[in-house]
Amino acid sequence: MSNVKENRWYSKDHEWVEKVSGNVVRIGISDFAQHQLGDIVFVELPEEGAEVAAEESIGTIESVKTVSDLFCPVGGQVTKINSQLSDEPELVNSEPYDGGWMMEIEVEGDLEGQLSALLNAEQYEKFIEE
């Protein structure tokens, strides 16, 4: 069974969002997603400062099995990239909610409104069980 963290919001594309401070959120992929992908060998992320839109492709994640698009669950400006993933992409497998986070975004507009469009932990657990 996949680990689903309580203090996060989830997209149906299996990305998670965690509030950091103010309008800044941290984004990564869920434990379920990393299990589906298998061993992660490369992560391509947008540049710091890039403007991103909700549900837009913002990069790719490559595993030994496949290459998948990463979709942004919220819109805003990328303020920080987890540069450790360029040397250690396997952190996404071993620590999907901690060391394997991907980026931080300063959300433009209504943060709560954007989060309300996502699934809470309980809803996401039901979604991945289907």
What would be the CATH architecture of the domain defined by 9-111?
Beta Barrel (2.40)
Distances (CA, A) of 89 to 42, 78, 93, 99: 6, 19, 8, 10
pLDDT at 2 (0 to 100): 78
pTM (predicted TM-score): 0.94
Order of strands across the sheet that contains 76-81? 9-10, 15-21, 24-29, 103-107, 76-81, 51-52
Q: Which residues of the chain have pLDDT under 50?
A: none
Return the pLDDT at 1.
Answer: 58
Amino acid in the structure at residue 130: E
Closest CA to 70 of 56, 87, 53: 56
Helix (H) / strand (E) element for 15: namely strand 15-21
